[in-house]
Amino acid sequence: MKKSALFLLSFFSVFAFSQKKWTLQECVNYALENNLQVLQSGLNKKNQDLNLDIAKRDYLPSVNGTVQSNGSFGQQLVGTQTVRNDNFNNNINVGANMLLFNYGRLAKQIRKTQFDVEASQFDTEAIKNNISLQIAQQYLSVLLNKEIVKISNSSLENAQSVYNRSKITTDVGTTAQTVLAEATAALAREKQNVQTAQINVSRSLFALAQLLQLPNYKDFDVVDVPVDNQLDAPLYSAETILDKALSDQPEIKAAESRISSANAQTEVARTAFWPTVSATAGFGTFYFNSLTTNIRGYDPVNNVTLTEQNFFGQSKDNFGQQIGLSANIPIFNKGITRLQVEQTKINEDIAKNNLEQSKQNIKENVQQAQFDAESNYENYLAAVEAERSSTLALDFAQKSFEAGRTTIYDLTNARNNLANAQGSVAQSKYNYLFSLKLLNFYAGIPLSL
C-alpha cells in the first residue's frame, strides 16, 4: 500500500512538472539554487569562511601531549667487564605554546582573509548575475521562436486558403493547372516553414533547459509573456548609469576587495622582518626500570642498595613543571623576506590592474548595451513600417488575384514579403527588449518580464 502511494505521488509530481510552464523569475530562481557554477562558487565561499576561522584561532595557544616509551637490550662495558644492560623508560609530557609578539602578523592575516571572504562573496554574486542574463536572453529567444511559429501558421492558413480556391477554379477549368501546381508548392513550403519554426522552439527550449540543468527537459515549457507593452520602458543612457554600474556591480567590488587583500598580504610579509616572541609552559614525568638488576642506586649513608620504585611511585617523584620564553630574531635569510615583500607589491599592482580591466569591461558592456538598444529600436521601427507596407501590398495582391488581374506568383511573393517583414519585426523587437533589459540591469533594475 505504501509503495502504491509513493508511486502515485511520484507520478503526479512528474505529471505536474510536465504541465507546468515556467516564468522567467522561476527559471532564474531555479538556476541560482541548482546551477553547478553557483554551487561551486558557494563552496569556495565556505572554504574562505573556514580560512578566516582558522586565522582567528591562531590567537589561541597550542597544547600538545606526548607519551614516549623505549626499551633497550644488550651488553654494556662497565670498567673492564661486560655486563647485561636491559632497561625500559617512559616519558609523559604536556606542553603549551603561545605567541606573544609577532608585530601584528595574526591580526593582519585575519584582515587579509576577511578581504578574501568578501571577494569570494562578490564572485558568487557575479556568477549569479551572469547566469540570470543568460537565462533572460534564452527565455526571450524561446518567446521569439514561438512568435515566429504564429507568423508561420498565419502564412500557412493563407496558403491553404489560396490552395483551396485554386483547386476549385482549376477543377472547373477557370484557371490553368500551373496555378494549382504553384499553390500546392506554396502550401508545401509553408508547411515546411511551420515545421522548421516548431523545431526552433523546441531547440530554444532545450537550450534553456540545459542552461537550467534540468533533469527532464522534454516536457519543459515557459509562460507566453506579451512583451509589446514593455517596449516603452525608460531607456537609460550609458552616461547616466555608468557611475552606478561601476559602484554596484559585484565584479568591481570583488576586484576592490582583492586589492585590499593584496595590500594586507604585503603587511603580513613585512612582519617577517621583526622578532617573534613565544611563551611555553609544560609539565611531565618519567619512569625508568633496569630490567637486569632492578637497582636504581646506592645510599652510602645507610650503606644500603636502593631498589627501583614502581611506576606510580616514580611518576610521582619525577613529576616536574617548566616555563619558558623564547625570541626568534631574524638576522639573515638570504634576502628572501625582502624579495617576498617585493612580490606582494607586484601582486598589489596586478590587483589594481584587474580592477581597471573590470571597470573597462563594465564600461564597454554598458556602452554596447546602449548602442544595441538604440540601434535595435531603430530597426524595430523600420521593421514595423515595412510590415505595414507589406500588409498593404498583400491586401492589394490578394484583391488583384481574386479579380484575376495578377498571378499566383505575385500573390505568393507578396505573402512571403509580409512573413519576412513580420519575422523582422519579431526579431528586432526581442533584440531591443533584451538590450533594454540589459541596460536597465546595469541601472540597478532587476530582470523581469
Helices (H), 172-229: 177-212
pLDDT of residue 3: 47
Q: What is the pLDDT, as a whole number, of residue 2?
A: 45
Q: What is the pLDDT of residue 240?
A: 81
Mean of per-residue pLDDT scores for the chain = 87
State how far the Cα of 447 lies from the Cα of 449, in Å rounded to an integer.
7
pLDDT tens per residue, range 244-258: 888 889 999 999 999
**Residue 326 pLDDT:** 94
Listed range (22-26, 123-127, 226-230, 231-235) with the worst mean pLDDT = 231-235
At 304 the pLDDT is 67
The pLDDT of 74-99, averaged and rounded, is: 81
Residue 427 has pLDDT above 60, yes or no: yes
> Angle at the Cα of 346 (from 340 to 352), degrees rounded to 5?
140
Which tops the pLDDT comparison, 294 or 155? 155
Share of the chain above pLDDT 90, in %: 54
- Structure confidence at residue 30 as a pLDDT band (50, 70, 90): very high
**What was the pLDDT predicted at 7?**
43
Tell me what pLDDT residue 217 has: 81
pLDDT of residue 218: 83
Q: In the numeric block, which cell numbers belong to residue 23? A: 516564468
- Only one residue has cell 582573509, namely 113
Beta strand 276-290 with 81-84 is unpaired
Alpha-carbon distance of 266 to 340, in angstroms, equals 9
| Better-predicted residue by pLDDT, 278 or 292 | 278
- pLDDT of 20 over the 90 cut: no
**Res 229 pLDDT > 70:** no
Whole-angstrom CA distances from 115 to 17, 21, 52, 342, 404 are: 42, 42, 10, 20, 80
Q: What is the pLDDT of residues 205-216, one digit of tens each?
A: 999 999 998 888
Rounded average pLDDT over 136-149: 94
CA distance 326 to 316: 29
What local confidence, expressed as pLDDT, does residue 75 receive?
Answer: 76
pLDDT greater than 80 at residue 233:
no
Query: Residue range 157-161: average pLDDT?
Result: 88
134: confidence class by pLDDT, cuts 50, 70, 90: very high
Q: Residues 6 or more apart from 209 whose CB is under 8 A from it?
A: 217, 220
Q: Name the pLDDT band for 79 (thresholds 50, 70, 90).
A: low
119 near 254, Cβ under 8 Å?
Answer: yes
Model confidence at 439, pLDDT cuts 50, 70, 90, reads confident
Give 359-415 pLDDT, tens digit per residue. 999 999 999 988 998 898 889 999 999 999 999 998 888 888 777 777 778 888 888
| pLDDT of res. 69 | 87
Q: Which range has the top average pLDDT, 61-75, 220-234, 324-338?
A: 324-338
Cα distance between residue 3 and residue 46, in whole Å = 39
- Phi, then psi, of 290 in degrees rounded to 5: -85, 110
Residues 61-86 have a mean pLDDT of 80
- Whether the model clears a pTM of 0.75, i.e. scores above it, the answer is yes
pLDDT of residue 138: 95
User: What's the confidence (pLDDT) of residue 296?
Assistant: 62
Whose CA is closest to 253, among 126, 365, 348? 126
Distance in angstroms (rounded) separating the CA atoms of residues 130 and 255: 16
pLDDT at 191 exceeding the cut of 70: yes
Supply the pLDDT for residue 448: 81
Length of the chain: 449
Instruction: Give yes or no for residue 94 having a pLDDT over 60.
Output: yes
Predicted local distance difference test score (pLDDT) of residue 338: 95
Q: What is the pLDDT, as a whole number, of residue 182? A: 86
By C-alpha distance, which of 92, 96, 64, 68 is closest to 319?
92
Q: How far is CA 47 from CA 173, 191, 250, 289, 308, in A?
A: 83, 56, 19, 51, 55
What three-state secondary structure class fits 343? helix
Q: What is the mean predicted confidence (pLDDT) over 139-158?
A: 92
Pairwise CA distance, residues 221 & 16, whole Å:
12
| Separation of alpha carbons 386 and 420, rounded Å | 10
At residue 8, does pLDDT exceed 80? Answer: no
What pLDDT score was predicted for residue 314? 78
